[in-house]
Amino acid sequence: MSDRASDFVLQAISFDNLEGWKDDDPSGLFEVMRSCRRQITDVKPYRSGSLGLSSEDLLPLLVAAEDFTPSSPSSARAFFEAHCRPFLIRRSDGNSGFVTAFYEPDIEVSERPDEVFRFPFYRRPDDLIDLDDSNRPAGFDRSHVFGRLQDGRIAAYPDRRAIDQGFLEGRGLEIAWAKSKVDVFFVHVQGAARLRYSDGRIGRITYAAKAGHPFSAVGKLLTDRGEIDRADISMQTIRAWLARNPDRVDEVLWHNRSYIFFRATPVGYPEAGPIAAAKVPLLAGRSLAVDRMIHTFGFPFFIRAESLTHLDQGRPFRRLMLALDTGSAIVGPARGDIFTGSGDMAGERAGTVRNDADFTILVPRAAAGRFD
């Protein structure tokens, strides 16, 4: 088991002892579960995390969900009670889990650059290759999962600073251009965006790959420097600081060497969420990004965050969610990112989520015996 998966245990609990469970309505998850089943059976199974749960372990739950339509919140809960057993994720250091949130921004863009629209979203370059234990050069950290292939040799890909300074110019990789470097940076953090063109067209981009460098939080940089009080850190306060300090924007953004590449995706229904790493659309308020080195996409997690109240009309956040996405900053067994939706209001909701939380994974009964 990897280091990431050796610092916690799964504690079997009952649904009766799962605080908040009886008040939840997970009815909306069944359509997403059907999409997950199609992905697993018709396209490709999800990669297993080090916890040891696989798509094969998940499949009986998804098959049972295929023809099930809940008639009420209680019937939806009864489905999961019949097919799963809950396990509380307990960290060995005694600390609780932690949740943040993400959203799909709306960004005004142009299909051609000009004096206003100057900052591109790039497609994946053809010299960027996937790295694993079979081809990762000696001296590369195992977290490096991308690199640059040039003249038959693999090296680290240029970082955010080098790309911002023009490394990819002239290669025809631009999808669209935005007005603001800061907007582009935060789309990189979110991993997806809806693009609004001046002629009324709407496009969509989602994560395709990254340059391979580790994620470094600019919020932590600003709090460590005393620029923003740690208690006040949020997407909104970071944006406000950058707006007040335009001459320091590059310095701060380049601290995060990680750089994200995108692919254009069909818009489909604009109200539907973006396609996630699990290759299914995200459902607002019910989709969770997890550490995919530990967890496997598609599994249900019940998240209880007593101090998180603004996502649920003043009530503590207690919801069953599906693990459908991941992110560079989402590291650890009880670490999650809640998808709040698309657009500015979703961004307002997401930007201030930084809360302790309990994570309970629901394991299909056939596989649950391995954790007793």
What pLDDT tens digit does each residue of the chain (372 aa) get?
A: 334 545 899 999 999 999 999 999 999 999 999 999 999 999 999 999 999 999 999 999 999 999 999 999 999 999 999 999 999 999 988 899 999 999 999 999 999 999 999 999 999 999 999 998 889 988 888 778 899 999 999 999 999 999 999 999 999 999 999 999 999 999 999 999 999 999 999 999 999 999 999 899 999 999 999 999 999 999 999 999 999 999 999 999 999 999 999 999 877 666 678 888 999 999 999 999 999 999 999 999 999 999 999 999 899 999 999 999 998 889 999 999 999 999 989 999 998 999 999 999 999 999 999 998
- Is 302 within a domain? yes
Total number of domains constituting the chain:
2
Residues 29 and 68 in one domain: yes
- Is 167 within a domain? no
Enclosing H/E stretch for 91: strand 84-91
CATH number of the domain enclosing 304: 2.40.40.10
* β-pairing verdict for 153-155 and 119-122: unpaired
Residues 15 and 96 in one domain: yes
| Enclosing domain of residue 233 | 217-255
Residues 96 and 71 in one domain: yes
The token pair that represents 55 in the structure block: 């798509």
Q: Which residues of 152-191 are buried (b: 16+ CB within 10 A; e: fewer)?
A: eebebbbbbbebbeeebeeeebbbbbbebebbbbbbbbbb
Cα–Cα distance measured from residue 279 to residue 255, given in angstroms and rounded to the nearest whole number: 30
- Is 145 within a domain? no
> Contact, 4 vs 331, CB < 8 A?
yes
- Is 130 within a domain? no
Residues 55 and 86 in one domain: yes
- Is 146 within a domain? no
- Is 316 within a domain? yes
- Is 333 within a domain? yes
| Number of helices followed by number of strands (H, E) in the chain | 10, 17
Residues 9 and 37 in one domain: yes
